[in-house]
Amino acid sequence: MMLTPITQRTLSRDLLDVLIRAGLIAVLAVFCFRIFVPFLNLMVWALILAITLYPLQVKLRGPLAGKDGLIATLIILVAFAVILVPTYLLGVAVANSIERAMAVVRGGSFQIPPPAESVAAWPIVGQRVYDFWAQASTDITGLAQRFAPQLKEAGVALLGMVTGLGAGLLVFFFALIVAGIFMAHGEKGYGSAVQIASRISGPENGRQIADLCTATIRAVAQGVVGIAFIQMLLIGIAFIVMGIPGAGLLALAVLLIGIMQLPATLITIPVIVFVIVTEGVSTATIIFSVYVFVAGLADNVLKPLLLGRGVAVPMPVVLIGALGGMVTGGVIGLFIGPVMLAVAYQLFWRWVKEQPEREQWHKQKQP
């Protein structure tokens, strides 16, 4: 079929119009993204917090029916109190510890006890540890001068980490406020999410994908943050009872490495070694060591129970998404990774199962 010149010009003009419109939409999308990108982390955190805390708002609707704004405000105020009080106490404890350490150093009374002879008998690293420990107990000033560049780099890195932690905490507080606004309009937000998912993946998949994303975020919040918090309590109580120096800071470190999906044994094993070296082998130290070591491995039992709970995908998919997301996107990736992988998993298997169903339907239609 030959096209007339008029038809060819019409098609060319229509194609040019489509390209111009697509280019204008792309330019608009780029400008909108550049304007929105400074608030991207804040909004993502707010969305994650809103989805995680929204079931609590639903439960409180009984006594406070029709007051979603008030319920969301109360939840956010309680969340602020739960976060601010331990943060303040931790900050005061750290400041007091630093002040005492500086006073001890200035007074010249800081001394490291000499190592026991049994330390030199440790396999592989025993002699090196013994020599280093012995020098530290007799000439701490010379040892500090020897490692001055490394200590300076470590101090700068620690200062940067503290600054980043403070900035992250500030963003988290603002995200809590925005999350309260999201929760106050939770029903409308859920309806909008279903509409967006339906527009992208089709009306038959929209609600299922929205529910899957919601369930995955909540499962990760329970299975990652919740497990890390449980481990912090189990191990922190043991540290406090045993009188470990800096027990609060060590418990906070357990929480942070748990959220980062690292094993708690990175903290518990050095503490166990420290207790045995300083306190010796006794019934109390053996019980403490066994308890702390088992508590450090508790996440291996709790993760299969909590991480995939309520999610219509296998637990390994959620776990792989959490680990991969953490590596590529940090703490936010911990939530985004499982969501993306779970949605892709569901769509892939829906596509796999859809083709045989269509073929069977066509066979039934044939005479």
pLDDT per residue of the chain (367 residues) written in tens, 0 to 9 = 555 666 767 777 778 888 888 899 999 999 999 998 888 888 888 888 888 888 888 888 777 667 888 888 898 898 888 777 777 776 676 677 667 766 766 665 556 677 776 667 777 777 777 777 777 666 666 666 666 677 677 777 767 666 766 677 788 888 889 989 988 888 888 888 888 888 887 777 788 888 888 888 888 777 777 788 888 888 888 888 888 877 777 787 788 777 766 778 888 888 888 888 777 778 888 888 888 888 888 877 777 666 666 666 777 787 788 778 877 877 777 778 888 888 888 888 877 777 655 555 555 555 5
Query: What is the predicted pLDDT for the residue at 26?
Result: 92
The answer to the question of residue 136 being in a domain is no
The answer to the question of residue 301 being in a domain is yes
Gap between the Cα atoms of 352 and 207, Å rounded: 20
Query: What is the predicted pLDDT for the residue at 72?
Result: 87
Query: What's the first-to-final CA gap in the chain, in angstroms?
Result: 35
- DSSP label at 226? I
The answer to the question of residue 74 being in a domain is no
The closest alpha carbon to 55, from 43, 77, 71, belongs to 71
The answer to the question of residue 152 being in a domain is no
Return the structure tokens found at 33: 């993204």
Gap between the Cα atoms of 193 and 327, Å rounded: 27
Return the structure tokens found at 95: 């400041």
> C-alpha 33: how far from its chain's center?
25
Sign of the CA dihedral with 324 first, then 328, 334, and 335 last: negative
Query: What is the predicted pLDDT for the residue at 107?
Result: 62
Gap between the Cα atoms of 273 and 271, Å rounded: 5
Gap between the Cα atoms of 174 and 141, Å rounded: 45
The answer to the question of residue 227 being in a domain is yes
The answer to the question of residue 340 being in a domain is yes
Q: Which domain holds residue 288?
A: 217-349
Asked whether 122 and 131 are in contact (CB, 8 A), the reply is no
Domain count along the chain: 1
The answer to the question of residue 110 being in a domain is no
Query: What is the predicted pLDDT for the residue at 115?
Result: 72
Residue 342: partners with Cβ closer than 8 Å, 6 or more residues away: 212, 213, 216, 311, 313, 317, 318, 321
Quote the pTM value.
Answer: 0.69
> Amino acid identity of 232?
M
The closest alpha carbon to 253, from 325, 163, 165, 334, belongs to 165
Gap between the Cα atoms of 307 and 223, Å rounded: 4
The answer to the question of residue 336 being in a domain is yes
